[in-house]
Amino acid sequence: MIIGLTGGIGSGKSTVTRAFETLGAAWVDADDVAREIVAPGEPALLAIKQRFGDPVIHQDGTLNRAALRDIVFKDPAQRQWLESITHPKVRERLQQHLKRLNAEGAPYVLLVSPLLFESGQDALVDRSVVVDVPQQLQLSRTRQRDGVSESQVHAILAAQLPREQRLAKADDVINNSGDHVSMMDQVARLDARFRRLTSD
């Protein structure tokens, strides 16, 4: 069984993923795969360089993600172009990773993706879990973690589904605005449910 795990920026998806991992779940992160497909030598990086030029490439030939993010979050047309290049490649690579992890025999596999619904990756999963926190907490956590401006966080939030829509699409929700114990308790209950579903 493949479980999609998503949530807005700053909701704590990585922490929740590690909690599931401690209980035996395997996982693949769409953000990691998105970095893989723009590594030096990958076709997507070449396409990005051809469109945006040297400012989006570091001296060592790697992608300057901050410079690219600055461009695409200011211009929806540029973001759409970037997604048309990267999303199909991410999806193809995700399917390869999911197939491998399933073959390795984990009780279930998590597909961790901030844009699970927006990118259509929810078509790859059997159930979806949304990690949820209030928007004010998203803002403060993201600014603290990434050192970005409030306007940049708002631009990223605007590119993601509104919180209410994301929650409406969820099969399960983890409220991650409490403490670590509360989060672990919710993860343990879902882990037990997923194991029951896979054994049915």
Is the separation of the CB atoms in 16 and 183 below 8 Å? yes
Per-residue pLDDT at 148:
66
3-state secondary structure at position 3: strand
pLDDT tens column, 56-115: 999 999 999 989 988 998 898 999 999 899 989 999 999 999 999 988 988 999 999 988
Of 69, 77, 115, give the one whose Cα is nearest residue 94.
Answer: 115
pTM, full prediction: 0.82
CATH of segment(s) 2-33+91-199? 3.40.50.300
Q: How confident is the model at residue 146 (pLDDT cuts 50, 70, 90)?
A: low
Q: Compute the distance between CA of residue 86 and CA of residue 89 in angstroms, rounded to an integer.
A: 5
Number of Cβ atoms within 10 Å of the Cβ of 8:
24
Q: Tokens 């051809």 belong to which residue?
A: 50
pLDDT winner (highest mean) among 124-138, 152-166, 168-182: 168-182
Binding site listing for ATP: 10-15
Percentage of residues in the chain having pLDDT higher than 70:
94
**The two three-digit tokens of residue 81, written as one number:** 């172009």
Binding site, by residue number, is: 10-15
User: Structure tokens of 141?
Assistant: 């956590």
Distance between CA atoms of 185 and 5, rounded to whole angstroms? Answer: 17
